[in-house]
Amino acid sequence: MAAARRIAHLDMDAFYASVELLRYPELRGQPVVIGGRRADAPQRNPDGTHRFARLRDYAGRGVITTSTYEARALGVFSAMGTMKAAKLAPDAVLLPTDFDAYRHYSRLFKTAVRAICPLVEDRGIDEIYIDLSDHPETTLELATTLKQAVRDATGLSCSIGVAPNKLLAKICSELDKPDGITILGMEHIATRIWPLAVKKINGIGPKATAKLAALGIETIADLAQADANLLQSNFGRTYAAWLQQVSQGRDDRPVVTSAEPKSISRETTFERDLHAVQDRDALSAIFTRLCTALAADLARKGYVCRTIGIKLRYDDFRTVTRDVTLTELTADAARIRRAAGECLRRVPLERRLRLLGVRASALIAAADAAQQRDQPQQSELPLGE
DNA sequence: TCTGGGGTCCTAGGACCC
DNA sequence: TCTGGGGTCCTAGGACCC
């Protein structure tokens, strides 16, 4: 029988906001939200201090991406509309998102962790899973060392959860935020996991939470005791089985240390809704700009694609997608623009639009594509000698 | 005063092939 | 005269995550 795994989930605390506080330490202790536009960047006064935009000055259709714990205390959280946040915390400082800076600190903390524990799975810009199973140190020693390494590399704090699998580690990293360490074994499931709301489980989102609530299932304990047939008739066989598994804290997904991207995309929400006819020129310019940016992304990351798709969001927030698979591989802006234009012709354009996006999928590494071109498949070679 | 931008995975139907 | 049966690819939509 294999030894129990030790899986850590490391989550940076209020990541974007914390990176901004490194730059503007005078904001420490204040409610600060990230989610503005470039126009909201702080102005530098002659005396070296900064003049910051306040949430009350914001007008637009953005959302909050992160907030400091002081802002959260006022009810302002990620994904909340910025205008709504402004009502709750008008005096909070508003900063624009600076992804280049966050990517920089993301690389720093991941490199620091990999230097100690190389089995790392990327889960986005601010969190990772780490497989600690093969390390001789105690779990607490390892978690303490990792946290210190992240702090030394970035000046930032993180929270770490360690458990026998990814599902529990993820739940656990949240139990003592910020700057915490939580270590759980299967023996703690009844006391520490079951009392939690079902939405704490990664994979149970708003829709499933609402459906479960309608069945009287609020906590993970409720889910663990739920009738299998009831779950099956409401969620289907596969999802019902998964719900029962996770309610018992069971999960055997491995930590995956490398993965190829499946798609690359660019999209934008307009400042005001646009109409395909009245705003034809503006829309066309944005469309071309998205295709150019996408082509540049493909080139920079070293991929070509075979499928091009578009995404439209109407003024009523309904979303439609169309895609087309080409007979050749491409990363060319003009080719992408033509394919995307073909997709656009297949979609109703009576309503005003609020969003337009372009996506490349069926990706192949450009190097592999070149090799396949230079060395045709065996079956394409003439037969016989 | 609604609701960003970048992703992944799953489902389901139809085309097409053997 | 209803209905084969896999397997794969393509497309569209939706749930979910950071």
Residues A57-104: pLDDT tens digits? 998 999 999 999 999 999 999 999 999 999 999 999 999 999 999 999
Tell me what the mean pLDDT of segment A112-118 comes to: 97
Q: At what angle do helices A139-154 and A99-116 cross, to 10 degrees?
A: 140
Nucleotide nearest to A343 (CA to C1'): C11
Per-residue pLDDT at A279: 97
How far, in Å, is the CA of A383 from the C1' of nucleotide C18?
A: 52
Nucleotide nearest to A204 (CA to C1'): C16
How far apart (Å, rounded) are the C-alpha atoms in residues A106 and A19?
Answer: 10
- Rounded to the nearest angstrom, the gap between the alpha carbon of residue A258 and the centroid of all alpha carbons in its chain is 17
Tell me what the mean pLDDT of segment A368-384 comes to: 60
Per-residue pLDDT at A384: 34
- pLDDT band of A325, cuts 50, 70, 90: very high
Which of A20, A70, A121, A127 does the annotation list as catalytic? A127
Instruction: For residue A121, indicate whether it is catalytic.
Output: no
What value, to the nearest 5°, has the Cα angle with vertex A120 and ends A117 and A121?
Answer: 170
How far apart (Å, rounded) are the C-alpha atoms in residues A260 and A282?
Answer: 35
- pLDDT band of A1, cuts 50, 70, 90: low
Tell me what the mean pLDDT of segment A363-379 comes to: 77
Radius of gyration (Cα) for chain A, nearest Å?
24
How far, in Å, is the CA of A139 from the C1' of nucleotide B3?
A: 41
How far apart (Å, rounded) are the C-alpha atoms in residues A273 and A314?
Answer: 8
Per-residue pLDDT at A185: 97
Contact A172, A249 (CB under 8 A): no
Cα–Cα nearest to A64, from A123, A104, A16, A24? A16
Cα–Cα nearest to A163, from A274, A101, A81, A252? A252
Per-residue pLDDT at A375: 65
How far, in Å, is the CA of A8 from the C1' of nucleotide C14?
A: 31
Contact flag, residue A346 CB and nucleic strand C, below 7 A = yes
Per-residue pLDDT at A332: 98
Contact A209, A218 (CB under 8 A): no
